[in-house]
Structure 1
Amino acid sequence: MSAETQQPEQPAAGAEAPKRIPKGVVLGPDGKPCRSCTSFASWANQTKTSLKTPSSSGGSAGTAAVAAMAATTATAAASSTGPPSDCPADVETLGRGTWTLLHTIAAQYPKQPTPTQQADVKGFIGTLSRLYPCWVCAEDFQVFLSKSPVRTASRDDFGRWLCAAHNEVNDKLGKPKFDCNLWEERWRTGWKDGRCD
């Protein structure tokens, strides 16, 4: 589930031109900025760029400088800490939470699932790919599913499939890939060095 900056189609001739938005802000299908598709740092940057300048606000240069410094500080803090816990999830918070849920489901999936359990997981993953709040991520996941249908024959099969899905997203985001031979240690049993005990 990745979020590459994508923009909806341009408006037809005679329609209102779209507003310029800061790099990294993803628009939703409705043409408005999508919080769950945008990182908190990019969202904060959008707010920073919308601050009034001295010429448009009639304020002093000192006031504008203080506002700009505050916005820059807020943007820097946002990029290092993410959104406060009581704010809507950004794309990174949403992604981390989703991967944690999915890997934990795989870790608790039966070694020998029944046909009903297999159908339930396939249905859940299919539904998630359509309802995921980040529309760009959802579309990417649907493409992945069309190339690599969910494997549910066993816990290991599902866990390795999910690891491969996660690695595809990591690759798109320029993050290191995880060794899928270690998926169960990471998500089910804990590391052999005992740090999870």
Structure 2
Amino acid sequence: MSTEAQPEQPAAVAEAPKRIPKGVVLGKDGKPCRSCTSFASWANQTKSSLKTPSSSGGSAGTAAAAAMAATAAAAATAGPPADCPADVETLGRGTWTLLHTIAAQYPTQPSPGQQADIKGFMGILSRLYPCWVCAEDFQKFLAKSPVRTASRDDFGRWLCAAHNEVNVKLGKPEFDCNLWEERWRTGWKDGRCD
């Protein structure tokens, strides 16, 4: 038997919930992370906590809990209200829109300073992104595929490849990177964006 004092675990680890619903991602502090979790999973977390009505509530308590669970389930399918914190899907869509729009406006012949700026921006984004799991994945992508900045097309295609890597991970279809500029800069040739 060792007489050495055992190090104390951080409170977040010692007090972690017994069961985390599927899809809820924990933050580095051991608590559920809103910006790493979809709104549907977040709502299911609330719903699952409502499934255990107290014995003193009787049928009225059970009915109220069921009604609240149904409301949470309906909200989950609709997505978060606009005035709520962004979930991982809202955050992702907004970020990809910003990044592809930056690529669409990136110079065709960027200066060395502009190239350094976009490389620096992508590096900072990979460290500050609110979803820590996503940030770490992006850091890994940057390590294996450094940002290409020689031209607008070079950067746009690199960004499309980065986005496609995430699409594959999420089980979504890949986008044809030959169409990146039409999608994000000029609009579709059929005129629907005019």
TM value normalised by structure 1: 0.88
Q: Is the aligned partner of 1:145 residue 2:145?
A: no
Q: C-alpha deviations, 1:48-95, integer Å up to 9, x for none? A: 1122633x251122431342243134223322x210000000000000
Shift of 1:148: 0.2
Q: Which has the higher contact order (CA 8 A, sep 6+)?
A: 1
Match of 2:162 in 1: 165
Q: CA deviation at 1:42?
A: 0.5
Q: Deviations over 1:91-142 (max 9, x none)?
A: 0000000000000000000000000000000000000000000000000000
- Asked if residue 44 in structure 1 is aligned to residue 39 in structure 2, the reply is no
Residue 98 of structure 1 aligns to which amino acid in structure 2? T
- Please give the secondary structure, in 2, of the residue aligned with 1:21: coil
1:4 maps to none
1:179 is displaced (CA, Å) by 0.2
The equivalent residue for 2:27 is 28
Q: Distance in 2 between matches of 1:41 and 1:177?
A: 23
2:186 maps to a residue whose letter is T
Which amino acid is 2:57 matched to?
G
Q: CA RMSD in A?
A: 1.6
State the AA in 2 paired with 1:128. Answer: L
Q: Secondary structure at the match of 1:178?
A: coil
SS at match of 1:58: helix
Question: Structure 1 counterpart of 2:124, which letter?
Answer: T
Aligned length: 183
**Per-residue deviation at 1:149?**
0.3
For structure 2, the 5+ residue unaligned runs are 1-8
Amino acid paired to 1:41: A
Tell me which amino acid in the other structure corresponds to 1:158: F
Structure 1 residues 107, 57: CA separation in 2 closer, same or farther (over 3 Å shift)?
A: farther
Supply the AA of the counterpart residue of 1:194: G
Which amino acid letter does the alignment assign opposite residue 76 of structure 2? A
Higher Cα Rg: structure 1 or 2?
Answer: 2
Deviation of 1:18 (Å): 2.9
Instruction: Point out where structure 1 has 5 or more consecutive residues left out of the alignment.
Output: 1-10
Q: Mapping of 1:1-197 within 5 angstroms? A: 16=14, 18-19=16-17, 20-51=19-50, 53-54=52-53, 56=54, 58-79=56-77, 81-197=78-194
Q: Which amino acid aligns with 1:64?
A: T
1:3 aligned partner: none
Q: What secondary structure does 2:57 align onto?
A: coil
1:41 touches 1:76 (CA, 8 Å); kept in 2? no
Letter in 2 for 1:29: K
